[in-house]
Amino acid sequence: MRRSEMEQDILKVLVTEEDLRSRVAELGEALYERLEGKDPLFLGVLKGCFMFMADLVRACQLECEVEFMSLSSYRSSTVSSGKVEITQNLTKDIANRHIVIVEDILDSGTTLAFLKQYLEKKGAASITIVTLLDKPSRRTKAVTADLSGFQVPDEFVVGYGLDYAQRYRNIPYIGVLKPEVYAG
């Protein structure tokens, strides 16, 4: 098979498509166990969540609603600035709802610490954080995921929804980006 031009920028594959499929299935099952009968609202954090969210809601046989928010944390190149702004908000009241936050990667924790507090203020009945990837070595905020797909080392990763400068989101696996791509 032809390697796409995008894939020439990948240093190594971290999580294969097969690993993604089986782990997402497990996460879907775990969410079912936790939230059966609670009419949860799956809240995806755009844009990185879009592929994971689509697979996760299908892997989870719960009756549920979906919502999306966009949060911008003013990242310069590959590092978060610590300030978060809502660039696309909820379209409905979430008071007394059981929320499942669906995130691509938990890095410094800035984004999810902000979002969790925001949803608490809006009166969420419960908040379950599901992140596909967790980079615990980089955490600066006290936030932990309730469910996480894979722990990743302190390397910049792309694919399966995750981007660098809005590209590489459609690579079907998780790969480490060659540092020269963002250093140059």
Closest CA to 114 of 101, 97, 104, 126: 101
E strands in 33-122: 41-46, 65-72, 85-88, 98-106
The whole-angstrom separation of Cα 110 and Cα 72 is 10
3-state secondary structure of 86: strand
Q: Does 162 bind ligand IMP (CB under 6 A)?
A: yes
Closest CA to 160 of 10, 20, 29: 20
Residue 4 phi, psi dihedral angles, 5° rounding: -70, 165
* Residue 131 binding result from ligand IMP, Mg ion, none, given CB thresholds of 5 to 8 Å by partner type: none
Q: Does 73 bind ligand IMP (CB under 6 A)?
A: yes
In the region spanning residues 77 to 96, those forming contacts with ligand IMP, defined by CB under 6 A, are 80
Q: Does 134 bind Mg ion (CB under 5 A)?
A: no
Binding window for ligand IMP (CB under 6 A); candidates: 2-10, 36-44, 100-108, 116-124 = 100-108
Number of residues this chain uses to bind Mg ion (CB under 5 A): 3
Instruction: Choose, by CB under 6 A, the member of 31, 60, 157, 171 that binds ligand IMP.
Output: 157
Residue 109 or 149 with smaller CB distance to ligand IMP: 109
The whole-angstrom separation of Cα 172 and Cα 46 is 17
In the region spanning residues 31 to 70, those forming contacts with Mg ion, defined by CB under 5 A, are 45, 48
Instruction: Choose, by CB under 6 A, the member of 44, 48, 159, 175 that binds ligand IMP.
Output: 48
* Residue 124 binding result from ligand IMP, Mg ion, none, given CB thresholds of 5 to 8 Å by partner type: none
Cis peptide before 83 (omega within 30 of 0): no
Binding site for ligand IMP (CB under 6 A): 48, 73, 80, 103-111, 156-158, 162
